[in-house]
Amino acid sequence: MQGCFPIAIVWCALMGSPRDALATQAIASARPDGARIYQDNCAACHGSDGRGNAQAVVGFDVALPDFTDCLFATVEAAEGWEAVVREGGPVRALDRHMPAFGGALSEDEIRLVVSHVRTFCTSRGWPQGDLNLPRALVTEKAYPENEALFTMSMGREPTRNVGNTFIYERRFGARNQYEVSVPFDAQRSEAGAWLHGLGDIAVAVKRAFYHDVERGSIVSLGEEVSLPTGKQSESLGKGFTVFESFVAAGQRMPRESFLQFQGGLEIPTDPARASKEAFWRVAIGKTIMQESTRRWTPTVEIVGARELESGARSGWDIVPQMQVTISKRQHIMISGGVQVPLNGRDERASQFLTYFLWDWYEGGLLDGWR
């Protein structure tokens, strides 16, 4: 037989016909691709170019997103886009005009159309939201982010202390982020009085130098400077400037698990009062979905640090923790855990750590709840 009739294409492909390439091409052409699915199901509202059609065309006055805006098109993980396509806008507290396509499209077709929507951002310099791994309590993540956090730490030994820090993070450009940390600390003195006030303010810049969404990998470098704004006399500051350089990396693993690493060096400007210190942190976790609206992320961190002077010992801690999203849009989340020393317990005590996180780019504090 010199060739294959259309009804025998699959048979020829399996049997190894001399025209295998032609058979494979015919099968591929029969499978709907993302562009065709988008044009058939999405273009009426979102436009063939992804910029969104005008009100006169769609028939309602809700502003449609611009998929060519790379910041908008990349910050969300594919899972979030697929949930909205499958179950409609209300599943993530978005507008009801976004219908559910779960009954009309298969899971493969939903993945194809979401992949096509990603192509409207033509720049490959933007790390995709699939690399935005859950934030650990101690380990800095590599992904550049738009977030605001309120963190708290509480310890009882050798003196009772409470550390509160407001952190503002803002993304600029495709790969960059700056961060401002403002601490308000309180510590109980030996006389029993509480000392409280502003701590040492820190400013940092981070840049993602490598990202590959197919491999699930991202690597960033960062620089931070901590300024002596706290009162050292009341143990609310160090009394000198500290520079910090670090590398942060993230790796997606099978079954919604992940691995994150941060390592760096702290350099004080007053070496007579403090030594250089190296630090390293590893976070291992797994995200568990509760239906399509809530994520639970148990994580364990191993935290280490060592002063770079002769005879110094490394300090090791373990930090078990749990993060959970509390808004329907998943842009508000909380986390809590305990940092437990693995050695040097005579000098260091356990601390309770927690944070409240707001991904402000995804909506206001009162948005996205129902």
- 45 phi/psi in degrees, rounded to 5: -100, -45
List alpha helices for 218-335, DSSP H: none
Identity (one letter) of the amino acid at 284?
I
Distances (CA, A) of 122 to 80, 109, 113, 117: 21, 22, 16, 11
| Confidence at residue 32, expressed as pLDDT on a 0 to 100 scale | 64
Cβ atoms of residues 33 and 115 within 8 Å: no
> If you ran DSSP here, which 8-state letter would residue 65 be given?
P
- CA neighbours closer than 13 Å in the CB half-sphere of residue 133: 30
Cβ atoms of residues 297 and 322 within 8 Å: yes
| Confidence at residue 18, expressed as pLDDT on a 0 to 100 scale | 37
List alpha helices for the chain, DSSP H: 9-15, 20-30, 34-41, 43-46, 55-58, 70-75, 78-87, 107-118
Cβ atoms of residues 87 and 102 within 8 Å: yes
> Nearest-CA neighbor of 81 among 356, 262, 329, 316?
329
CATH of 32-118, one of 3.30.365.10, 3.30.1220.10, 1.10.760.10, 1.10.10.350: 1.10.760.10
Q: Which two tokens stand for residue 63?
A: 């502003």
Predicted TM-score (pTM) of the model is: 0.86
pLDDT tens, position by position, 74-128: 999 999 999 999 999 999 999 999 999 999 999 999 999 999 999 999 998 999 9
Which residues of the chain fall short of a pLDDT of 50?
Answer: 1-31
In the chain, CATH 2.40.160.40 covers 129-362
* 129-362 is a CATH 3.40.50.10490 domain: no
Buried b (16+ CB within 10 A) or exposed e, 260-297: bbbbbebbbeeeeebeebebbbbbbbebeeeebbebeb
Residue 217 CB-density burial (10 A; 0-12 exposed, 13-18 middle, 19+ buried): middle
| Confidence at residue 186, expressed as pLDDT on a 0 to 100 scale | 84
In the chain, CATH 1.10.760.10 covers 32-118
Q: Angle of helix 78-87 relative to helix 107-118, nearest 10 degrees?
A: 120
Q: If you count them, how many residues does the chain have?
A: 370
2 three-class SS = coil
343 three-class SS = coil
pLDDT tens, position by position, 114-148: 999 999 999 989 999 999 999 999 999 999 999 99
Per DSSP, what are the bridge partners of residue 163? 153, 185
> Nearest-CA neighbor of 215 among 298, 127, 292, 289?
127
